[in-house]
Structure 1
């Protein structure tokens, strides 16, 4: 009996010690590195992506909900640094010809894919040609038009072999431009120019759709993905600069409601949050809101192929009946600047003057003028009653609030009743691109640091146009600006283009983004670029 009692007490002691150990380690994640044995927790950053990423295919994920994660899962020849300038990334260096048109990139010898394969120049050739291919139907294809042969190939007039990109050898990639472009190195940091592992893509064309098949070359790799719920990124052990990466994991929730997001932030379930309009005034007063520049515009698109917006005067009436200042003061409440032109602040012309300030207010609130234009437009079209108008927006509490505000303004200022309809983000984009809507919300975040990036969106036939609008004079201004080496002349062409765009009004701007956010004091080193995506390569969590 005494022996049994002794054995029982020993077992109880072992169980108690195990329980204490378990309690001490509760909440500590392990990445198999043995960190938990040292008493160190893994560094896990908790973020919210808002909605399901459209795609982790670089050619298709051309939007804010895909860019942020994709920019950290993959890497191009260049990467923007903490000053937002393009620096060496997968390419360790490059040479430029005397005429500024030929770039020769030297890819790092230790640049590898997350599966251990070498990143090769041919991977860039494969990815970039796929971006330009009509069959890919990439909304970002137009960004490659400064490459010789790219526009012709994308339009179906040229061949892939005529595009001036080539793999000189496994680690040397050459590109020839149509003309010298001061912003070229910035453009190719955009996710659409990321390489694709050709071998992996040919074996599985849907390699980007699930975590277990995803292969990237960035600071992190995709560990798990529960669609419409969350996804997790882990530090990529094969990344050439993995010693710089401090985080072990990044957990992304997919929550569209800003109030829910904010509540999760206040309970430490998220390390960052957008600023909910209901709490914005108080949070700003308390100094809790952080802000960084963001080159982007929240705007609305008219479908000029659908009545009543086939008429320019009616479009302008709807644009001028909106009070942008009231929207930012009473709806969004994040100290955004109202937009009366499309190009955001922050771009200096050849004389060092800000583009927006020089171009001025081009389409501004004027209710009396709006009423006159509506009356004229209806008379010209023979309308005794305005055709029914429906405003579509993608699902979000903020988009809904803005749409409801516009609905009230049109009723009050024009005596027009409009209907509202919402739709999930991915479907919304497809329907908008297919010109299914009359009037719909949009946002544009700059892909690179130049006003031409804003203005080129509305050239004829471009996937980003989504208005049905076509204007030969506008197209020529944009084309000439892209080929103009004299900066003063180039900016003058862009000023003319923006003025024409606002006069024709296939769109109307609402406000310029300012990227206001909340962030835990435990987090540092996140870089939020004005061009729209964030860098986690240098992020850390205490």
Structure 2
């Protein structure tokens, strides 16, 4: 290690000494874990239907398992709960054959009914899953998840009746099956449903359980919770305890990848219906089916996971105890790594990264690599003056992306003008207009703000993270320098930040997206009008049509051309500003085995193990014996 590097690391260690001491105190008295990693922030949940972030995903992949899982090297789907599967010749019907030794952590069998229950719950409008669209490739799943907006006269429907207000909130009410006769609008958002059940017509009005308990319904009306498309019309069929048949709307080349992603993981019905939400997710209650189970969770400290003695593949899970530390500070995370209190960190403070990369000989625990990801700013197009495309173009063209990446991001992050990350074979990424401050100023003047005069003060929202805040500060200065406008920044902790974005409480918001599967659609379907991920208020019918057409196009080349057209529209209308493509910044101790760089930067803990021959009690900070 060079003298400069030693000095920098020493300063980092000194600067984070107090925080490191806090972590040491919090962990004091605990038996050491076999493996410890930094999980960035406090997770908001472990409910697969509700989570969306990387910190939550790392835990979900450890404690749950889907029908398939991903090979840790290639990310190709390999058997999980399903030991094998058949795909019909037209690629519309997938039949999954579950292994007979798959168990929940309470010892009960994992069955096809568990997946049908979990996927129905995931699609239920009352669940309000942001990722519900990930299952819309299944036949009629989209219409089911739209609730009353997804049905029409003549459809077979199910009517869910109300429960007492004090009932467990994860229970369903009694479900009646019938045919929808007529929809009677009462307002823009409210309607009654005339349903025929066993030859008798009844007018149902959806309302919440409290209202139904407090008040009698109007004459001629019966209360209910909701009226939905009959779930038996959705392409999810339980053939028997160990066989699940799934029918798609159209051939979907990445469907197996979706099945291995956490939104489609199963949850234990008995657990949910015993404890309700959110209590069912607490460590003392939660029942899971993955390689690990949660032993305990300490807020602002760690989640400790222990190997499940019920997991079907437990003999090949080699780490017995794993700690996931909730550390938002990059400096503290690096301190914990360098003092051997963490075996894997996913990010490094930029100043330290710059010096570590310069080291000669190169470190063997740091290997930055691009992956399928994109860093961008969302624009709330519902707010003036951001509803004017000229303003959005001006903001994008006034950015010096090269300055951002070279000054603040030393790991080799690539300036980007596209949303879809490079690296998907056969797809040609599209680009927004390049940097052009003069044209940006002209556009701003045309929009009514010459030299920035009269332009309202905007705000950039970021989640709490040193790098995000530094980028926002530099962008603020660039816009002030090039456009003469004033911008302020606001950062929020992870949960509040996600809520603000979901509710559209921002002007511009930092956003990162890592591909859920290896396909451009994982980036582009976020911005369709109906996507729960699209909080920008932007809607474009042609864009929606192109993304929808790509979903039904069987020819791979033609499909990619449709998606390229869609990305072109997106980058002309600019409800987002592309900034750069991520580079993985993992630091992993050399004694850790089973950790591989891959195109989605996914690293399942259950596939890792410790090479004891390389782990010495007197290791130097380089991680070498």
Q: Hey, what does 1:280 align to over in structure 2?
A: 353
Q: Hey, what does 2:297 align to over in structure 1?
A: 225
Contact map agreement 1:71 1:533 (CA 8 A) in 2:
no
Q: Hey, what does 1:198 align to over in structure 2?
A: 269
For the residue of structure 1 that corresponds to 2:251, the secondary structure is coil
Q: How does 1:306-455 map to 2 (within 5 A)?
A: 306-349=383-426, 355=427, 358-378=428-448, 385-455=454-524
Distance in 2 of aligned mates of 1:205 and 1:519: 38
Structure 1 residues 23-61: Cα deviation after superposition (integer angstroms, max 9, x where no partner): xxxx9987xxxxxxxxxxx76111111101121000111
Contact map agreement 1:320 1:364 (CA 8 A) in 2:
yes
Distance in 2 of aligned mates of 1:397 and 1:208: 34
For the residue of structure 1 that corresponds to 2:324, the secondary structure is strand
Counterpart check, 1:508 vs 2:577: yes
Distance in 2 of aligned mates of 1:359 and 1:332: 22
Structure 1 residues 216-269: Cα deviation after superposition (integer angstroms, max 9, x where no partner): 111111111012321111111110000100101111111111011111111001
Counterpart check, 1:56 vs 2:46: yes
Q: CA deviation at 1:327?
A: 1.2
What TM-score results when the alignment is normalised by the length of structure 1?
0.89
Q: Hey, what does 1:87 align to over in structure 2?
A: 78
CA RMSD of aligned residues (A): 1.7
Counterparts in 2 of 1:529 and 1:152: CA distance versus 1, 3 Å: farther
Distance in 2 of aligned mates of 1:29 and 1:429: 32
Moved more, 280-289 or 442-451: 280-289
Q: CA deviation at 1:291?
A: 2.7
Q: CA deviation at 1:79?
A: 0.5
Q: How does 1:67-82 map to 2 (within 5 A)?
A: 67-81=57-71, 82=73
Distance in 2 of aligned mates of 1:414 and 1:63: 34
Contact map agreement 1:528 1:535 (CA 8 A) in 2:
no
Distance in 2 of aligned mates of 1:427 and 1:292: 30
Contact map agreement 2:449 2:455 (CA 8 A) in 1:
no
For the residue of structure 2 that corresponds to 1:225, the secondary structure is strand
For the residue of structure 2 that corresponds to 1:491, the secondary structure is helix
1:290 to 349, 364, 367: 367
Q: CA deviation at 1:426?
A: 0.7
Q: CA deviation at 1:533?
A: 3.3
1:168 to 239, 244, 249: 239
What TM-score results when the alignment is normalised by the length of structure 2?
0.77
Distance in 2 of aligned mates of 1:532 and 1:439: 26
Counterpart check, 1:271 vs 2:262: no
Q: Hey, what does 1:38 align to over in structure 2?
A: none
Distance in 1 of aligned mates of 2:408 and 2:241: 53
Contact map agreement 2:368 2:411 (CA 8 A) in 1:
no
Distance in 1 of aligned mates of 2:453 and 2:586: 47
Structure 1 residues 409-449: Cα deviation after superposition (integer angstroms, max 9, x where no partner): 11111111101111111111111111111111111111111
Counterparts in 2 of 1:66 and 1:417: CA distance versus 1, 3 Å: same
For the residue of structure 2 that corresponds to 1:359, the secondary structure is coil
Contact map agreement 2:421 2:429 (CA 8 A) in 1:
no
Q: CA deviation at 1:360?
A: 4.4
For the residue of structure 1 that corresponds to 2:316, the secondary structure is coil
Q: Hey, what does 2:103 align to over in structure 1?
A: 112
Counterpart check, 1:96 vs 2:166: no
1:147 to 116, 138, 141: 138
Q: Hey, what does 1:210 align to over in structure 2?
A: 282
Contact map agreement 1:97 1:103 (CA 8 A) in 2:
yes
Distance in 1 of aligned mates of 2:275 and 2:604: 28
Counterparts in 2 of 1:378 and 1:208: CA distance versus 1, 3 Å: farther
Q: How does 1:18-37 map to 2 (within 5 A)?
A: none
Structure 1 residues 100-120: Cα deviation after superposition (integer angstroms, max 9, x where no partner): 111110111000011111001
Distance in 1 of aligned mates of 2:485 and 2:453: 13
Counterpart check, 1:181 vs 2:252: yes
Q: CA deviation at 1:68?
A: 1.0
Instruction: Give structure 1 stretches of 5+ with no counterpart.
Output: 1-26, 31-41, 350-354
Contact map agreement 2:236 2:247 (CA 8 A) in 1:
yes
Q: Hey, what does 1:37 align to over in structure 2?
A: none
Distance in 2 of aligned mates of 1:363 and 1:116: 57
For the residue of structure 1 that corresponds to 2:445, the secondary structure is helix
Contact map agreement 1:71 1:534 (CA 8 A) in 2:
no
Distance in 1 of aligned mates of 2:589 and 2:62: 20
Distance in 1 of aligned mates of 2:39 and 2:596: 16
Counterpart check, 1:302 vs 2:379: yes
Q: CA deviation at 1:388?
A: 1.7
Contact map agreement 2:457 2:485 (CA 8 A) in 1:
no
Q: CA deviation at 1:540?
A: 0.7
For the residue of structure 1 that corresponds to 2:533, the secondary structure is coil
Contact map agreement 1:447 1:532 (CA 8 A) in 2:
no
Contact map agreement 1:64 1:532 (CA 8 A) in 2:
no
For the residue of structure 2 that corresponds to 1:232, the secondary structure is strand
1:235 to 285, 307, 318: 307
Q: CA deviation at 1:292?
A: 4.1
Contact map agreement 2:42 2:300 (CA 8 A) in 1:
yes
For the residue of structure 1 that corresponds to 2:62, the secondary structure is helix
Q: CA deviation at 1:379?
A: 5.8
Contact map agreement 2:464 2:493 (CA 8 A) in 1:
yes
Counterparts in 2 of 1:397 and 1:178: CA distance versus 1, 3 Å: same
Distance in 2 of aligned mates of 1:402 and 1:292: 20
